[in-house]
Each structure stands twice: as C-alpha cells, then as structure tokens.
Structure 1
Amino acid sequence: MKKYLLLPLLFLTSWVLGQSLDGSWKLVSQNGNAVTNQEYIKIYQDDYFAFGVKNVADNTFIGAGGGPYKFEGDKYSETLDFFTLNPLQIGTTTPFKIELDGKKLVLSANTNNGMLVEIWERVSDAKDDLTGNWVITGRKRDDQISRSTPGARRTVKILSGGRFQWIAFNSETKEFSGTGGGTYSAVNGKYIENITFFSRDNSRVGASLGFDFQVIDGEWHHSGLSSTGAPIYEIWTPYAIGYKPAK
C-alpha cells in the first residue's frame, strides 16, 4: 500500500517543481488589501522580471522595478537592477516565500517596512516568435549598422504572455532613463505595441504602434517609426548573450 501512496505524492512534487513563472501577471492583493486603483503588471521571462505601475484613473506612471530572479522549489529571490520607488535598493537581493498554484502566485517576505504579502494572478503564458528578454545591441542609420556592448547602462525589453516592457537604466549609477509597456502581438513579421503605461508622457497611453520584425541568427531586427514619428531600425540580442556585466 505504501508504494501506491508514494506515487501521487511524487507526481504532485514533480508538478509543483515543474511550474514556470514565465508570462505576465497582475497584482490583485497586497497585505490583504485588494489592488484596484493602481495597475501592477509583472512580466517573467528567461530568469528576468520587470514590472510597471500606473494609476488606473488617469494613467499616471507610478514606478517600475526589475532584474534577475531565482526560483527553486519553494525558494524565490529577486535582485534589483532598477527600482524607481527606492533606488537605494538597487543591487540588493530579497528572498521570498513563494506559493504557486497554476494561475495564482503568492509572494511573502520580511522587508524593512514589515511583512509584505502579495497575491498575483496570471494574465497569460502565451508565447510567440519574440517571447524573450532582450537587450539592444545595434542600430541602423543611413544603411550603416552600429553595434554596442551593453554594460551597466543598457536598454532592456522583456516580452512574454502578450505583454511587453522596455526599460532604460544604469544599474551602477542607479540612474533611470525611462520605461513603457503594454500589450503586443507578433504575427507574420508584423509587431504591434499597444501602450498602457509610459513614464515619459502618459498622454501616449492608448496609442498603438506598428513595426516590421525579423529574427535573424537569433537576433530581433525591429524597424518602423518611433512614438515621435522618427524612423528606427534596432537590433535586439537575447539578454543572456548580449549583456556583458562588469567583472
């Protein structure tokens, strides 16, 4: 009998350990209070996370944060590469207790401000040709491609679960240059962004931008017109390959 009892336990353990955070999530509760006046969207992909927060009523940008994370069993930790709400925490790592059950994610931790308990609900775990965490490494101007090697100062763009967020920051100086995000689609070489928050100009919320894209040798070639109407051609490299941290 004991042998048979072990089988479902082993199956349950392997199912819990096999769950992934990849995709997009929405914060629904913080310390027992429902989150309704603000919208928190968090994206996980390729061992990296990013979130953006805005006021629901007027789309005013509130803040953003993100960086690498580790998730093993019931242990989870976040290291901040950028964090507008408290730049002094950039570079720090916070351990959390994690409970993940399908579409529900509970994170709890002891912080300087006391116990923090967050409940997130999965928005989507959909994937497409551009799902990934990317860092910009090249631009084309007048048919000439210029390349750069991202270091402490870098621009990252994370896409997963039908959501995107870009962030420009310097993790060494803790300088934050801007962020924006929303929903997107990437089908048949056409990439469309629908902006739901933008730190530099919340009047851009609601705008949709269309671009052409190709994935060439594992890199994302992105072309079209920027939010200001200027022509752009960008090359994005998978973050794990393109980003070169200081040693």
Structure 2
Amino acid sequence: MDELFKVHAMKILKLSLITIIFSVSLSAQDFAGAWMRKLDTAVQYLTIVDHYFVVTTFDLEGKKFFQTRGGTALMDGKKITGIIEFNTTNKSEVKSNYSFSYTFQKKDLKMPIDGITTNWTWIDDGNTGLAGNWKITGRMQDGKMIAMNPGARKTIKVMSGSRFQWTAINTDTGEFFGTGGGRYTFENGKYSEHIEFFSRDATRVGSSLGFNAEIKDGNWHHSGNSSKGDPIYEVWSRK
C-alpha cells in the first residue's frame, strides 16, 4: 500500500511540475510581442521577443524621438527581470539589473514603474517569420560576403509580428549610436519598412523602404537599397 501511495504521489508531483512549467512558458509566450501606451504628447511602444525587450518613446506627428531603453528579459508569470544593455537617458544604468512585477490577462498588461501602474495595449503576439532579436553577422562588400562577429559594439534589430527597431549600441561602455523603427510587413519574399522614428534624422520619418528578404538556414538575408540609395546585402542571425 505504501509503495502504491508513493507511486501515486510521484505521478501527482510530476503532473504538478509539468503544469507549472507549461503555465510559466505559456505566460511568457503570451506576453511576447508588441505593446503600446499613449502619453500626453507621445506614444510608447514595448516589444518583448527572444528574452529581450526594447521600449521607445516618440511623437509620430511631430517627428520627435525622445528615448529608448532595452536589455535582456526573463518572465516567470509574475515578474520580468533582466540586465539593461542601453538607455539613451541614463547611460549609467547599462549593465544594471532590473525587476518589475506585472499582471497579464488576455490583451491587457499592467506594470508598476516608479510606483505608477502603467497600462499597455496589445499590438501583436510576435509570431511571424521575422519576429525575434537579430544581430547583423554578414555584409556584402566589394562583391564578397564579409562575416561579422559583433562584440560589445553591435547593431541589433528587435522584431515583433508587425514592428521593427534597429539599435546601434556598445554594451560595455553604454554608448548609443542611433536607432530607428516603426511598422513592417513581410510577405512573398518582400520586406517593407515604414519609418515612425529615427534618432539621427527626423526627415526620414514617414518614408517607406522595400527590400528582398529570405530566411535561409535560420538566417535572415536582407538585400536592396539603403535609405541613401546604396545597394546593400546583409545577413542577420537571431541572438
């Protein structure tokens, strides 16, 4: 009888652990994607994919970029924790740990920040072929593909199901070199960007760019012409 009880208890314990793991995974998965909240004179977008987050504030109508912040992100169903990799308004925060509690239900996200509860509206769930946290690993130069191995200084591109943001940073020094982003579409090998903010050149806001795009062996092959009209061919890999 004792042996049967032990076997039964072990089965219940295993089932409970599986349920907990599934619940945490589902919560993290459902949390992933893009979120938005409106401020008095600006809009703020939060994207969380591949255990990474980026949050950016800008005024689309006024073509003004205000700030961006990002880093690693781990979620357990109650808290989101990680390490800050860039912050345009507080460079000293880079490499520091953070922790925020949150509540998530269906398409409603609440996070208390600096003692104030912020409410976020769901945009997308980050489930397209380009959703993820990407880093550039190759670039065509003089007809040859040159492999790149980004270190502390790198350019990343964080993609949800409908939004993109590239950011050039140095995670060792906290330096920030520029960022831009907005909405994108990816269909039948064609990738299009509609720029909603650009830290270095506000005149780019409102413009659209089209590229050829293909996923090969898990890498994103990106080709076409840059915003300056120069031909480009880049390879991006998920971090």
TM-score range, shorter chain: 0.7 to 0.9
**What residue number does 1:24 align with?**
34
**What residue number does 1:236 align with?**
236
Describe how 1:100-111 pairs up with structure 2 within 5 A: 100-109=104-113, 111=114
**What residue number does 1:72 align with?**
76
Structure with bigger gyration radius: 2
1:46 aligns with one of 26, 46, 50: 50
Distance 1:220 1:14 in 2: 30
Q: What SS is found at the alignment partner of 1:81?
A: strand
Tell me the amino acid that sits aligned with residue 68 of structure 1: T
Distance 1:75 1:128 in 2: 26
Count of matched residue positions in the alignment of Structure 1 and Structure 2: 220
Q: Are 2:105 and 1:97 aligned?
A: no
Distance 1:73 1:54 in 2: 29
1:56 shift after superposition: 4.1
**What residue number does 2:179 align with?**
179
1:70 shift after superposition: 1.0
1:12 shift after superposition: 11
**What residue number does 1:190 align with?**
190
For the aligned residue pairs, the C-alpha RMSD in angstroms reads: 2.0
Q: TM-score, normalised by structure 1?
A: 0.83
Q: Which has more helix, going by share of residues?
A: 2
Q: Is the 8 A contact 1:22 1:161 kept in 2?
A: no
Q: Deviations over 1:161-216 (max 9, x none)?
A: 30000000001111101000000011111000000001011111110000001111
Q: Is the 8 A contact 2:60 2:196 kept in 1?
A: no
1:27 shift after superposition: 2.1
Q: What SS is found at the alignment partner of 2:73?
A: strand
Q: What SS is found at the alignment partner of 1:127?
A: coil
Identity of aligned residues (%): 38
Unpaired runs of at least 5, structure 2: 1-18
Q: Are 2:135 and 1:135 aligned?
A: yes
Q: Is the 8 A contact 2:24 2:76 kept in 1?
A: no
Q: Deviations over 1:88-142 (max 9, x none)?
A: 1111111111101111111125x5xxx2432111111152221111000110123
Q: Are 2:210 and 1:202 aligned?
A: no
Q: TM-score, normalised by structure 2?
A: 0.86
Q: Is the 8 A contact 2:131 2:159 kept in 1?
A: yes
Tell me the amino acid that sits aligned with residue 18 of structure 1: L
Change (3 A) 1:189 1:85: same
